Every structure is written in C-alpha cells, then in structure tokens.
Structure 1
Amino acid sequence: MKQIGLSAAILTATATMALAGGPVATPVEPPVAAVAPTPQRVIGDWQGVKVGANLNWGRSKAAGLAGRPDGLGLGIRSTFDWQFDRMVLGFGSDLDFGKTSGTIGGVPTDISRTATLFARAGYDAGQWMPYALAGYSKARLTTGGARSSMEGYTLGLGTEYRITQTVSAYGEYTYTNFGNVAALGNAKVDTQKLRMGLNFRF
C-alpha cells in the first residue's frame, strides 16, 4: 500500500512538471555593445590679453633711388582678442626698437622706432591660428643727419602657435607703405619686415 502511494506521488509530480513545460531556465541578457563617443571639434581658446616680444628683420627702399637699408630689431607687442566659435577678432600695438640702416640715393638713411596700431582677424585651427592684419604705422626717418617722421598703412599675414595655455609663438610678415616722403625727394618709401616672437597671455 505504501509503495502504491509513493508511486502515485512520483507520477503526479512528473506529470505536473511535464504539463508546466519542465524547469524554467533563467533568461540570459544579450551583451550590450559599447557606443563609441562622437568626435568633437577641437576649438582652441585664443581670447584674452597678451603681451610679448619679437626679433625682426626689415628692409626699406625708396622708389627710383638706389639703396636698400636693412637691419635687425627687437620689438614689443600687446594684443587683445575675442573669439566667436572659429573666428578670432582683435586689435593690438607693436613698437620696434630696431632700424633699417644704409644709404638711399647715396645719402645715409635710417628708419627707426616704428610704431604700429593694428586690427587682425584669425581662424582657430586648434593649436594654430593663421591671421591677417591691417593698421597704421609711424616711424622716424633720419637722412644726412636731419630727422623727420613718416606715416602710412601696414598690411600683414602671420600664424600663431599655442605652446601652452599661456604661451604662444608667432611668425609674421608685414608690408608698410609710407607714401611719398619729401625728405627723400618725394619718393615712395616702403618697408618689409619678418618677425618671430613669443606672446604671454593673462
């Protein structure tokens, strides 16, 4: 009798499991694939006040007169820039303590102490910022011992490279047209300069 009851219990349990579909397996979650981050544009921070110094070389000439005075110089510079996404706009000043020295038309001639006020527009290319500038320049002219002054417009192209968040280096070419100068027989005078310098941002 006991065997019949035990057999009935086993059959009942077996039937129940069969009707229920057997043991329920725990569902396995599929692995979630990692989503790669979307690349972001690298935009530098060129905005702010900067002061710096440069080493420069220049050459001057007067149209129709022999002679090409040239020379090395040291200059100081200050700039203030605003940044609008990739566009950088600013203004600045540059004072060159050097001079171009030689003869023009056989007369000893020096062009020195060139001061420039300029505006510039640049493009933020990350670590680099190419730019163009335009401004007003005034310089001292010494011809045969007599002193006078010249003034004119300056155009230039350059590029600035950010070394750290506070230090940048730059290279620049400028052309200055002083117009017709009475002290040199009303000849048209211009100066071209190459600059290499460092800026420090505050």
Structure 2
Amino acid sequence: MKKFLLGGAAFIAFAAPVFAADMPARTYTKAPVYTAPQAVYDWTGFYIGGHIGGAFAGNNSLEGSGGRFLGGVQGGADYQFATNWVIGAEAQYSWLANNNNGAVFPGGTLVTTNNNQLGSVTGRLGYTWGPALLYAKGGYAWRDNPNVGVSVGGVPAAFTTDGSHKDGYTVGAGLEYMFAPNWSAKAEYQYYNFGNTTFTSGPAPIVGSRFRDDEHTVKVGVNYRFGWGGPTAPRY
C-alpha cells in the first residue's frame, strides 16, 4: 500500500504540469467605463407661477420718475419642437404699489396719475439647451383705468383728456431655468405701451400737453410645470 500511494503521488506530480500546459490562457476583460445617465429636459406642458419685481415709467410720463414694486401671477403652456425650439402662450397679471409722483407745470399746476394693475396675454418663442430656455415674447397689454388728477395750488381743477388708454401692447424677453423636477425659475424684462394721453381742457398750462403711457418692468419668478406629452423635468 505504501508503494501504491507513493506511485500515485509521483504520477500526479508529473501529470499536473502537462495538463496545465494544455489549458488555454484566461482572457482578461476590462470593465466598461461607467457613463452617467444624461438628463433630458422637455418644456412641453402647462405651468402656473408667481413673480415679483419693479415697474419704472418711461420718459415724458405722467407718473414722473422713480420705481414701484410689483407682484403677480402667471400661467401658460409651451410646446417643444425641432429638438431645441419652444413655442408657447402666457397670461400674466401684476399688482403695482401706489405712486405719488407727478408732473409740475407753471403756476403751481400739478398733474398726477396712478394705475395699480397690469395684465398681458402674449405668445413667446424660445431656444433651449439643457435646462435653460432663452425666449422673446409679445402681445396684448391691459391696465386698470388710470386715476388722473389735476390741481392748482393744491385745489383740485376740472379737466378732460382724449381717453383712458387702458389697452396697448407689450414686448419682452427672459431666461428660464429648470432647477428641479417640475420647477423652473425665470428672470424677465417686459415693456408695456398704452399710447399717449393728451389734455383737451383744464388749466391753461396743461391744455394740449401730451404724455406717454408706458412702463418698463423687471421681474423674477417661479413656475410649477405640468407635462402633457412627456416629463417636464429631468429624466434619469
């Protein structure tokens, strides 16, 4: 038995290198490089939101110089097409702080005006790359009936104008950015024009005077976005 065991061990020791030489070499496979999934942003869908900012009357305005605080709401819908283009429509409404400025004429004649509400319905067209959207907008503008007043030496005086100029147009541009699923933030400039107001009667210094009715506004806001044709936030 002892001789048998020694012979078996010697056979194994001799055969092992032979079998090892006949086995194919193991092929080393390099692990694939990890690629993080890319976010896909889709602007198609409805949205609602709010904004705050400031309004500044243009040159030759009855409101005089200085700015006013504004705040409001907006809502709209966008459609993304041709990969990077977005078309949409938006309704916006803003409340403005009171304005006590005015225009002073010779003889102590003071003209003041104040309107506290602005609204617009606009179309917009934009170009998007990743989470950012750069857009331009334009359309119909509305404001509340301006509260115009005339006084001479602090005493109210009668007058007439050529109309209320409540309807007008607006144009603007802005940048919107998706910062979280279903949420976007924007910064926007918007110009409102309601024509000109001309005084047709009243104290002599103001008769025939013509003033521009316009507002320059800057706003920042946040929108909550609802999708209709796909996710409106990054997909991972």
TM-score of the aligned structures, taking structure 2 as reference length: 0.65
Which sits farther off after the overlay, 147-156 or 134-143? 147-156
Cα RMSD (Å): 3.0
The AA in structure 2 aligned to 1:30 is: T
Q: How many residues align?
A: 182
Same amino acid, percent of matched pairs: 27
Contact 1:135 1:155 in 2 (8 A): yes
Contact 1:119 1:135 in 2 (8 A): yes
Instruction: Kindly state the Cα deviation for residue 180 of structure 1 after the two structures are TM-superposed.
Output: 2.1
SS in 2 for 1:111: coil
Contact 2:165 2:197 in 1 (8 A): no
Q: Which residue of 1 aligns with 2:198?
A: 182
CA distance in 2, matches of 1:86, 1:93: 23
Contact 2:58 2:216 in 1 (8 A): no
Q: Structure 1 residues 82, 66: closer, same or farther in 2, change over 3 A?
A: closer
Bigger share in strand? 1
Q: Looking at both structures, which has the greater relative contact order when contacts are Cα pairs under 8 Å and sequence separation is at least 6? A: 2
CA distance in 1, matches of 2:222, 2:139: 20
Gaps of 5+ in 2: 1-17, 105-110, 151-159, 200-205, 227-236
Gaps of 5+ in 1: 1-21
Instruction: Kindly state the Cα deviation for residue 193 of structure 1 after the two structures are TM-superposed.
Output: 0.5
Q: Which residue of 1 aligns with 2:75?
A: 78
Contact 2:57 2:63 in 1 (8 A): no
CA distance in 2, matches of 1:43, 1:98: 38
Select 1:142's aligned residue among 141, 144, 147: 147
Q: Which residue of 1 aligns with 2:155?
A: none
Q: Which has the larger radius of gyration?
A: 1
Instruction: Kindly state the Cα deviation for residue 49 of structure 1 after the two structures are TM-superposed.
Output: 0.8
Instruction: Kindly state the Cα deviation for residue 125 of structure 1 after the two structures are TM-superposed.
Output: 2.3
Which sits farther off after the overlay, 188-197 or 35-44? 35-44
